[in-house]
Amino acid sequence: MGKLVGTLRLRFERKEQREERIRAVFKSTNNRLENAKREAKRKKKTPTDLLDYLSIVDPQLIERRICDIERFIPRSHNLNKQIRSFIDHLFVKYPVPEFMYGVFF
């Protein structure tokens, strides 16, 4: 009888350990999903994120910027306005016709 109780206890402990590992996996997956959702909800993008949206093929173009990339602070929550003001921040000294912004997309 004592051996049976020991075997049952061992099975119960293994089951508890397995369930704890499963809970840990679900918890870590939940945290990653929540972090991804939080990042997606973030309205104002970082300058690095905005730079990724632009299709600048020539690396020398970035070197011709008039202001530092990291000094840019977005004022709008609208992504299109953020990108346009980012382009203005980097390259524009004088007013630019609207159609010329399409070159960057």
Least Cα distance to 82 among 57, 52, 47 occurs for 47
Q: Whole-angstrom Cα distance, residue 79 to residue 88?
A: 14
For residue 47, how far is the Cα from the chain centroid? 12
Residues 57 and 61: their CA atoms lie apart, in Å, by: 8
Sign of the dihedral through C-alpha 69, 73, 79, 84:
negative
**What mean pLDDT is reported for the chain?**
81
3-state helix, strand, coil in the chain (%, to 5): 70, 0, 30
- pLDDT (tens digit, 9 = 90+) per residue, 36-45? 667 666 678 8
Question: Which pLDDT tens digit goes with each residue over 29-82?
Answer: 667 767 766 766 667 888 888 888 887 767 788 788 899 888 999 888 888 889
pTM above 0.85, yes or no: no
Closest CA to 69 of 48, 44, 45: 48
